[in-house]
Amino acid sequence: MDDQPVDVETEIPAPALEPGLEDEEGVDAWRDDFALPVPAGSKVERLDSRRWLVLPERYFFQPLGALAAAQECDKLTGSPGGSHFIGLAVELREQRSALLAMAREDYDEETAQEMVDVAMIDHVSSGLERLVKGLEGSGVALTEVALGWLKKCNVRRVPLPGSTDTGGLVAKEGGPAGWAGFYKGRYVFLYRLAAAVLWATVAPFFFDVRPATSAR
């Protein structure tokens, strides 16, 4: 009898999953319900790591109060760096709105949102890169400004399941979990995180950012 090729099944054990994750989802995937290490009812918001290109980590922050946010908005619009940032944010918002309108013509809302999130990754990445380059030589101390916003909004990193990272305040400097060590070689993450909380603070002064309600 001639030798014949046969199919061989190789079973690779799946990694242990965080409780509640679907089988196909890895522990570094975004979740909008990941556990927050703060007392229930605390006024904090989760930061969407996908849209701000800071995966695989998870983050949450404390939004500024209305008066403090208004004061920061006034300072931002009066500064050269701030005007660059607002211009980029408006540009990205318009791009996303246009892509979403097209996607909604062929897909349901959830699918359309997911497709646009993926499509916007390159736009956000190139836009933030242009922003950083545009601020070079402008006298804006970018790292200092970024760390200032991370402190203002108490941005915290949540350790991933099974990670040796202790998490905590992103803006702390000392120790392996501090920004100087944890983000070494990728300080651009600090700029993206700062842009995320900055925009969450000032966006309501430029746009209606409430979720759209369906017409009855």
Task: Tell me what pLDDT residue 105 has.
Answer: 92
SS (H, E, C) 191-208: HHHHHHHHHHHHHHHCCC
pTM (2 decimals)?
Answer: 0.71
Regions of the chain with pLDDT less than 50: 1, 3-25, 214-216
Is residue 121 situated within a structural domain? yes
Is residue 28 situated within a structural domain? no
CA 117 vs. chain centroid, Å, equals 11
| Residues 23-81: tens digit of each pLDDT | 344 556 778 888 888 887 788 999 988 888 898 999 999 999 989 989 988 888 877 77
Task: Tell me what pLDDT residue 81 has.
Answer: 73
Task: Tell me what pLDDT residue 113 has.
Answer: 84
Is residue 13 situated within a structural domain? no
Task: Tell me what pLDDT residue 50 has.
Answer: 84
Task: Tell me what pLDDT residue 59 has.
Answer: 95
Residue 75 lies in domain: 49-205
| Token reading at 29 | 């995937």
Give how many domains the chain has, as a whole number: 1
Is residue 154 situated within a structural domain? yes
Spatial CA neighbour of 88 closest among 149, 130, 119: 130
Distance CA 198, CA 39 (A): 24
